[in-house]
C-alpha cells in the first residue's frame, strides 16, 4: 500500500497529537473537525508543541515549519479524502459508524478506515460499512507524540495484510506496534482499567485521599498516580471507556464505573483540558 495522505477526524487532544506524529513522519495530513473553534485551538496547540520541541533542541526550526506546512485544517467532511483515515472522535458507536459511512461514500474503496477507539469492538464499528475488510483499529495513547505504544486491532472482517501494513506504518513513525484481538478494552485498557477503578473504590471507601493514593502509586514505581493520569487523559474520556468496558463485559462488577467519577463528569470537571478535574489547574 502506498500511503501518502493521512486524514484525522477529530481535532481534540488525541486527534491533534496524532496529526503531529503523522506530519513529523512526513505525511500530508488533513485534520478535520466540524467545530472550527476546536480546529483553531488544535492549530495553536500544534504550533506551541512544535516550538517547545525546537526550544528543547529536539527539532530544528525548519523541521517544525515543514511539519506544520503538511497539515491542513478542514471543517467540511467532503474535504477528508485520504489514503488512510484515523477517527479520534467521541467514544460512541453510532457516531463512529455514521462518520465511516459518510467517509466510505466519498473516498476510494481502498482507503483504510481506522478507529482510535479505546474500547468499542472494531467488528461492531465495521458492521454495515462498505468494504469492512479495510476497517482496522489503530489505537494511539495520550499524549500521542510521546507515548510509544500503538495497538493494531483486527475486527472479524479486517484483512490481515492491512493490519500488518498498519503495524509497519506506525513503526515507521517511530512507534511500537502490537497486534491485539478484538476484545473489550483490547490489551492496555483492559489491564489498566483496574488502576483507575480500584483507586476510585479506595477513594469511595475513604481508605485514603486523592493525594495519598497518587503519592503511594508513584512511590511504587508508576510514573503518574491514577488521579493525575485521569486528569491528563480526560475524566470524561476515562469514564466513557470504563462504562463501555463494563457494558461489554455484561456488567461484570470488577469493571463498575465510579459514582465519584460520574459526578465529576456531570459537573464538567474533565481534567486538565477544563482546568479542573480531581485537581485544579491554572
Q: How far is CA 89 from CA 80, 96, 98, 268, in A?
A: 14, 7, 11, 18
Q: Tell me: do 134 and 210 sit in the same domain.
A: no
| pLDDT over 90 percentage in the chain | 94
What is the per-residue burial (b if ≥16 Cβ within 10 Å, else e) of 68-86?
Answer: bebbebbbeeeebbbbbbb
Whether residue 94 is contained in a domain is answered as: yes
Q: Tell me: do 143 and 241 sit in the same domain.
A: no
Residue 158 in grid coordinates: 479486517
Span 32-42, average pLDDT:
96
Q: Tell me: do 166 and 200 sit in the same domain.
A: no
Measure CA of the first residue to CA of the last residue in the chain; give whole Å. 45
**pLDDT tier at 106, thresholds 50, 70, 90:** very high
Average pLDDT, the chain: 96
Q: What is the predicted pLDDT for the residue at 282?
A: 80
Q: Tell me: do 21 and 102 sit in the same domain.
A: yes
Residue 101 in grid coordinates: 459511512
Q: What is the predicted pLDDT for the residue at 41?
A: 96
The 10s digit of each residue's pLDDT in 207-238 is: 999 999 999 999 999 999 999 999 998 999 89
Q: What is the predicted pLDDT for the residue at 83?
A: 98
Q: Among 123, 150, 180, where does a domain finish?
A: 180
Asked if residue 28 lies in contact with residue 70, where contact means CB atoms within 8 angstroms, the answer is yes
Segments forming the whole domain that contains residue 102: 5-180
Q: What is the predicted pLDDT for the residue at 121?
A: 94
Whether residue 281 is contained in a domain is answered as: no
| Helix axes of 13-24 and 61-69: crossing angle, nearest 10 degrees | 110
Q: Tell me: do 207 and 261 sit in the same domain.
A: yes
Q: Tell me: do 175 and 204 sit in the same domain.
A: no
Q: Tell me: do 161 and 267 sit in the same domain.
A: no
Asked if residue 53 lies in contact with residue 68, where contact means CB atoms within 8 angstroms, the answer is no
**pLDDT tier at 164, thresholds 50, 70, 90:** very high
Whole-number Å distance between alpha carbons of 245 and 239 = 10
The pLDDT of residue 249 is above 80: yes
Q: Could you tell me the CATH number of the domain that includes residue 262? A: 1.10.1040.50
Q: Tell me: do 201 and 130 sit in the same domain.
A: no
Whether residue 158 is contained in a domain is answered as: yes
Q: What is the predicted pLDDT for the residue at 109?
A: 96
Which residue did the predictor score with more confidence, 143 or 150?
A: 150
Asked if residue 113 lies in contact with residue 130, where contact means CB atoms within 8 angstroms, the answer is no
The pLDDT of residue 1 is above 90: no
Q: Tell me: do 28 and 85 sit in the same domain.
A: yes
Residue among 118, 142, 138, 139 nearest 224 (CA):
142
Whole-number Å distance between alpha carbons of 102 and 107 = 9
CB count within 10 Å of CB 188 equals: 16
Q: Which sequence positions are flagged as catalytic?
A: 118, 139, 151, 189
Q: Tell me: do 168 and 41 sit in the same domain.
A: yes
Residue 186 in grid coordinates: 483490547
Question: DSSP assignment of 219-230, as one string?
Answer: HTT-SS-HHHHH
Span 245-252, average pLDDT:
94
Q: What is the predicted pLDDT for the residue at 187?
A: 95
Q: What is the predicted pLDDT for the residue at 32?
A: 98
Whether residue 280 is contained in a domain is answered as: no
The pLDDT of residue 47 is above 80: yes
**pLDDT tier at 174, thresholds 50, 70, 90:** very high
| Residue 233: alpha-carbon gap to chain centroid | 9
Residue 44 in grid coordinates: 495553536
Q: What is the predicted pLDDT for the residue at 128?
A: 95
Q: How many domains does the chain have?
A: 2
Whether residue 282 is contained in a domain is answered as: no
Q: Among 180, 206, 233, where does a domain finish?
A: 180
Whether residue 103 is contained in a domain is answered as: yes
Q: Tell me: do 107 and 236 sit in the same domain.
A: no
Q: What is the predicted pLDDT for the residue at 45?
A: 96
The 10s digit of each residue's pLDDT in 182-206 is: 998 999 999 999 999 999 999 999 9
Whether residue 279 is contained in a domain is answered as: no
Q: Among 180, 200, 224, where does a domain finish?
A: 180
**pLDDT tier at 142, thresholds 50, 70, 90:** confident
Q: Tell me: do 28 and 92 sit in the same domain.
A: yes
pTM score, whole prediction: 0.89
Report the run of H or E that residue 73 belongs to, with start and end.
strand 71-74
Whether residue 251 is contained in a domain is answered as: yes
Amino acid at each position: 500500500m502506498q500511503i501518502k495522505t493521512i486524514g484525522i477526524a477529530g481535532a481534540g487532544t488525541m486527534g491533534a497529537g496524532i496529526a503531529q506524529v503523522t506530519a513529523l513522519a512526513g505525511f500530508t495530513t488533513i485534520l478535520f473537525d466540524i467545530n472550527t473553534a476546536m480546529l483553531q485551538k488544535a492549530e495553536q496547540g500544534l504550533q506551541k508543541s512544535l516550538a517547545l520541541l525546537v526550544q528543547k533542541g529536539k527539532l530544528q526550526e525548519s523541521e517544525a515549519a515543514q511539519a506544520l506546512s503538511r497539515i491542513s485544517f478542514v471543517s467540511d467532511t467532503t474535504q477528508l479524502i485520504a489514503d488512510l483515515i484515523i477517527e479520534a472522535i467521541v467514544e460512541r458507536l453510532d457516531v463512529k459508524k455514521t462518520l465511516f459511512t459518510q467517509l466510505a461514500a466519498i473516498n476510494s474503496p481502498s482507503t483504510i478506515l481506522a478507529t482510535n477507539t479505546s474500547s468499542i469492538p472494531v467488528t461492531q464499528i465495521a458492521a454495515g460499512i462498505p468494504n469492512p475488510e479495510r476497517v482496522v483499529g489503530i489505537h494511539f495513547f495520550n499524549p500521542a507524540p510521546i507515548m510509544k505504544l500503538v495497538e493494531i486491532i483486527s475486527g472479524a472482517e479486517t484483512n490481515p495484510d492491512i493490519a500488518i501494513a498498519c503495524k509497519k506504518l506506525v513503526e515507521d513513525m517511530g512507534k511500537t506496534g502490537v497486534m491485539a484481538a478484538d476484545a473489550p478494552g483490547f490489551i492496555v485498557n483492559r489491564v489498566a482499567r483496574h488502576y483507575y477503578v480500584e483507586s476510585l473504590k479506595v477513594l469511595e471507601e475513604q481508605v485514603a485521599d486523592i493525594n495519598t493514593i497518587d503519592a503511594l502509586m508513584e512511590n511504587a514505581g508508576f510514573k503518574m498516580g491514577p488521579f493525575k493520569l485521569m486528569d491528563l487523559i480526560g475524566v470524561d474520556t476515562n469514564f466513557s471507556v470504563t462504562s463501555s468496558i463494563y457494558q461489554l463485559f455484561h456488567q461484570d462488577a470488577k469493571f463498575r464505573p465510579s459514582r465519584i467519577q460520574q459526578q465529576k463528569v456531570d459537573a464538567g470537571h474533565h481534567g486538565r483540558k477544563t482546568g479542573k478535574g480531581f485537581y485544579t489547574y491554572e
